[in-house]
Structure 1
Amino acid sequence: MKVLLLDMTHGGQILAPLFKAQGHEVAVADVYRIAPESMLESLRSLGVDVYVGNPAPGHYDLVSMPCHCPDIFLEGCTYDQRIWYSQAVNRFMDDKRFRIEVTGVKGKTTTCYLISHILANSGRKVYLRSSRGSGPYKPEGHDVKELKSIAPPYLLDLPEGDYDVMVCEVSLGGSAKADIACITNLLEDYGIAKKTRRAEEAKKDILTDKVNIVLESEKDIWAKYGKPLTTVKSRVTVKESPKFGEPLKLVVDYNGKHDVELDGSYLGLQYVEAIDMALSVCDAMNIDSESVFRALSTFKGIPGRGEVTVRDGIRYVIERNPGISHMSVNRTLKTLDAMGCLDGALVVIDPVSKKVCDKLDRDLIEGVVDSYGVGLIVTPGDGTEPEIPAGTKLVIRMTKEGYQ
């Protein structure tokens, strides 16, 4: 079979040797022209045809590509069958370790960290792959060992080890073979592949024959794919008005109602929906209540995700996230508005850095910021520090970075 793989930014170099090992004639195209020469040479040494830019025109039996990759790169190519990278991963995935895969529009990383923290506190040996990095997760936190993409093919590149649970954040889709699959939300079914497809088409590929956890409000979206669904219950109630830098007091209903205080070093209000989904995972795994509440009370948030500090009399909120967009800006400002913190506030945004695919839509972000009546600075993205105007009381620093 003649196989063409498009895109080496999101895992073509992982899939190519696997198809080659099955005896297929394989070509891979570095359509974004950013793969290092060493990677290209490694594939050539295996007998893989490598193209920098568009592939050679011709007919292929099978084409596989990321769902968000536009068809413009297939100019001059015909094929009998096309599958997305998630579906190719499904063909090769044979890792038998218990695995939780998490995708969605927003909240993927937060959900993965909460799940990992609870499971580690229940005595399980946990490995976490996320857009912040990958490595063992212990009760005291995440020991990041390496930075890897969270594109679906990287599920085939998980490290060996006798882990009880592998928790994997996935950008678009999944293997469809996880023990538990979570879709945090769809929120905005945004356009991908130059708006020729929708996010739903990619994210549905995570759905498994085992346990799928989705929002009640989105049940009808995912039900049409014929997989078993468990809907998230609302278990968390905020007891008191949140205050900047102070613990957030909650009542959490998990095998009975319990008072819980989230640490004040992060915007706990932004974590409530992720806690609900993490508790649904705990239900599916029969995690004991003591471990759950101990974990929630000791969780310190995620570095750079709603992290709060005070320096020189100015409050700071730090967001370092590949998902920075008008939606996340609105979410953060809405949270801070509920805390009465937006007087004298300034939003500072650093644009794309590291391996982040989608670019910021400045017009949409400006519209959101203007609606809250706060200031906005967008940096050049070259590391230059902006001058903070006199009288600023709160700086919301948002950097669009991470490994997708």
Structure 2
Amino acid sequence: MQILILDIIHGGIILGDALKGMGHTVDLVDVYRGDLSHPGSITCETAMSRRYDLLIHPVHLDPSYPVLRGLSCPAITHHEAVRWILGSGRETRPTGHEKTGISIEITGARGKTTTATALASLMDGYGILHTSRGIFRYPEEEKITRMSITPASLISVHALLSDTDWCITEISLGFTGLSDLAILTSDEDYRIASGRLSARTLKHLSALSCRKVLIAPGMTSEHDSVINAKDLTQVTGGICTYSYKDMEGSFENPLLTLEGYRTPLQLATAAALILGYRPDKLSNFASLPGRMKITSEEGRMIIDNASTGACLKTTLDAIALLRGTEDQITPFTLIIGQENRAVCENFSDNEIIAAIRKGRPATAILVAGDDRMNVDAISGACQEQAVPITTVNSITEGMQVAREKPASPIVVSVKTWR
């Protein structure tokens, strides 16, 4: 087939190489930068002048993009293309060489990395964990490399697996439907594709292609085989009690008192039970780097919530953690925002404004490294709340500004890759 792939910076090159290996002819369009340096890259105008049998595009692309509107061939998403590519590989396996390792896909606006890492800590045997922190080989927890969590990265991850290896992968903006278990970690909605599409709707629609779906407490799903983590687990304070089939018990972990960890640990517990593992070892699970980490610098407390999952709820969690360890009236500096466009699921203006209003920082530092951010709207909201605001381009720059202020605590809640 003659195939056109849109968006090379979010996995299009990996998709193209895989499809060329299957015997197809592939053209690529860099829809965000117009880069023509990669072999096979063409302009949007050239693509419009050619005929294709199939068009492949990312779910976050504006539906009004000229090529999407102008070409009449069938179109599928990057997620669906990965399902086709890897699924065709399964169909061509000779008898007796079927893959037997368990596979888990995890998506959601927040909690993906913590859920995935907690679940990986409970798995037996050999496997691969792929999150925004990197690709790790278990049980050694050896870091192999780091790749984005775009769906196309799953092709590279699968190339590392043997037939019996388990695989836990974090995927942005939906599922491919290839996994034995799909986990939806949160239900927050935000607009993507130039504000034309709902991220929540896309994730729930992609879940319909999955065999079995596990969802977080407080969520609902139309899936025929959905399991809610609240039906298997219950958290009171720092204790998680669980019951599923013939497995019952409980474990204690102080992280359960923080919402940013409570839901991921409940999901990991429920997933382990579904897969046949006891979750008791989660009592030893520690906070991840960049996930609500508390440090001290010259007597100044710093609560670091910067990660790909930073959002309104985790920001308020970080502030609540500060106020649980410091005098409630102690003024603090809030560094908030988004560092770059590499994070598809952006920290929305409304959530940033709500975090400032509810958190009541003494001063705010806005990391405006993403051109989707409305700096004027956020600055205006700060003025209404009498909160001084400074705009910077990175966390590093934000910390430099914060250190120049009086020695009050700092909360960092910036969406970024780490």
Q: Taking structure 2 as the reference length, what is the TM-score of the superposition?
A: 0.78
Q: CA deviation at 1:196?
A: 1.5
Instruction: Indicate the residue corresponding to 2:150 in structure 1.
Output: 151
**From 337, 347, 363, the counterpart of 2:334:** 347
> 1:8, 1:14 → 2: CA distance?
8
SS of 1:105's equivalent in the other structure is coil
Contact 2:292/2:305, CA 8 A, preserved across alignment: yes
Shift of 1:35: 6.1
**Contact (CA 8 Å) 1:62, 1:79: kept in 2 or not?**
no
Distance in 1 (alpha carbons) for counterparts of 2:353 and 2:337 = 14
- 2:53·2:74 contact (CA, 8 Å) conserved in 1? yes
Deviations 1:368-400 (A, max 9, x none): 2232221312252253211333251x2112332
Q: What letter matches 2:357 in structure 1?
A: D
Structure 1 distance, partners of 2:46, 2:116, is 36
Q: Distance in 2 between matches of 1:400 and 1:110?
A: 15
Identity %: 21
How far, CA to CA, are the matches of 2:66 and 2:118 in structure 1?
A: 40
Map 1:83-122 to 2 at 5 A.
83-93=76-86, 94=89, 96=99, 97-119=101-123
Aligned to 1:183: 184
Decide whether aligned partners of structure 1 residues 194 and 316 sit closer, same or farther in structure 2, where only a CA change above 3 A counts: same
Determine the C-alpha separation between the residues in 1 that align with 2:196 and 2:151: 20
| 360 and 174 in structure 1: CA distance in 2 versus 1, 3 angstrom threshold | closer
3-state secondary structure, aligned to 2:8: coil
Secondary structure of 1:218 counterpart: coil
CA contact (8 A) 1:179 1:208 kept: no
Q: What aligned pairs does 1:236-247 form with structure 2 within 5 A after superposition?
A: 236-239=234-237
Q: Flag structure 2 segments of 5+ consecutive residues without an equivalent.
A: 91-98, 368-391
Flag the 1:367–1:143 CA change in 2: closer, same or farther, 3 A. same
Q: Deviations over 1:23-47 (max 9, x none)?
A: 433211011227694xx13xx4xxx
Q: Contact 2:335–2:410 at 8 Å: present in 1 too?
A: yes
Give the 3 Å change call, closer, same or farther, for CA 399–337 of structure 1 in structure 2: same
Match of 2:225 in 1: 228
1:228 is matched by which residue type in structure 2?
S
Distance 1:138 1:54, change over 3 A: farther
- Using the TM superposition, give the Cα deviation of residue 136 of structure 1 relative to its aligned residue in structure 2, in angstroms: 1.5
* Alignment-derived partner of residue 48 in structure 2: 57
Q: Does structure 2 conserve the Cα–Cα contact (< 8 Å) formed by 1:315 and 1:395?
A: yes
- The count of aligned residue pairs is 368
Contact 1:183 1:213 in 2 (8 A): yes
Q: Does 1:253 align with 2:242?
A: yes
Structure 1 residues 298, 55: closer, same or farther in 2, change over 3 A? Answer: farther
Alignment-mate amino acid for residue 369 of structure 1: I
Secondary structure of the 1:9 match is helix
In the alignment, which residue of structure 2 is the partner of 1:390? Answer: 406
Q: What CA deviation, in whole Å up to 9, does each residue of 1:252-296 have, x standing for no partner?
A: 334334341347xx98442111111111111111113xxx22x21
Aligned residue number for residue 16 of structure 1: 16
Deviations 1:46-79 (A, max 9, x none): xxxx225665213433211111111343347312
- Supply the distance in 2 between the matched residues of 1:53 and 1:84 (Cα, whole angstroms): 18
Corresponding letter in the other structure for 2:53 = D
Q: Give the whole-Å Cα distance in 1 for the aligned partners of 2:198 and 2:104.
A: 24
Q: Which residue of 1 aligns with 2:62?
A: 70
Q: 2: CA distance between counterparts of 1:60 and 1:5?
A: 10
1:356 alignment partner, SS class: coil
Q: Aligned residue for 1:367?
A: 354
Q: 1:373 to 1:200 in 2, by over 3 A?
A: closer
Write the letter of the residue equivalent to 1:230: I
Structure 2: which amino acid aligns with 1:145? Answer: I
CA contact 1:60–1:77 (8 Å) conserved in 2: no
Question: What is residue 393 of structure 2 aligned with on the other side?
Answer: 381
**Amino acid of the residue matched to residue 236 of structure 2?**
V
Whole-angstrom distance in 2 between the partners of 1:386 and 1:92 = 48
Q: Does 1:311 align with 2:297?
A: yes
Which residue is equivalent to 1:128?
A: 129
Q: Secondary structure at the match of 2:316?
A: helix
Structure 1 counterpart of 2:196, one-letter code: T
Q: TM-score, normalised by structure 1?
A: 0.81
Mapped contact 1:8–1:29 kept (Cα < 8 A): yes
Summarize deviations over 1:215-260 as a string: whole Å, max 9, x none: 46433x433xxx4212212624334xxxxxxxxx324334334341
